[in-house]
């Protein structure tokens, strides 16, 4: 139902268009870490919007982490992967 109602509002994750079924809003704090990583890699503009929202928020994105923490983690993982393949 929410998917139908929100389709025109731009809040659903664009990953629904790639066939994934169990997602929510692209800015949802209940996303798995793998979905956050995928959002960062596949939709960098939305990721940047989310970083701005998180920075303005008075609460953390997850109980013990901000989105900036995840951003640093993902960037470090990318550096390690690229180092491993050189």
Q: Is the pLDDT of residue 42 over 80?
A: yes
Q: What are the residues facing 12 on neighbouring strands?
A: 25
Domain region containing 54: 2-84
Classify residue 11 by its DSSP letter. -
Categorize the per-residue pLDDT at 3 as very low, low, confident or very high, splitting at 50, 70 and 90: very low
Q: How many CB atoms lie within 10 A of CB 40?
A: 20
What's the structural domain count of the chain? 1
Q: Is the pLDDT of residue 9 over 60?
A: no
Any residues with CB less than 8 A from the CB of 70 and at least 6 apart, and which? 33, 36, 37, 40, 61
Q: What is the pLDDT of residue 37?
A: 92
Which tops the pLDDT comparison, 39 or 26?
39
Strand, helix or coil at 62? strand
Both ends of the chain: CA-CA distance in Å? 47
């Amino acid at each position: 139902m929410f998917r139908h109602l929100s389709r025109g509002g731009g809040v659903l994750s664009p990953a629904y268009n790639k066939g994934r079924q169990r997602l929510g809003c692209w800015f949802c704090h209940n996303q798995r870490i793998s979905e956050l990583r995928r959002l960062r890699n596949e939709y960098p503009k939305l990721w940047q919007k989310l970083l701005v929202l998180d920075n303005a928020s008075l609460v953390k994105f997850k109980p013990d982490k901000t989105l900036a923490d995840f951003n640093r983690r993902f960037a470090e993982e990318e550096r390690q992967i690229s180092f491993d393949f050189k």
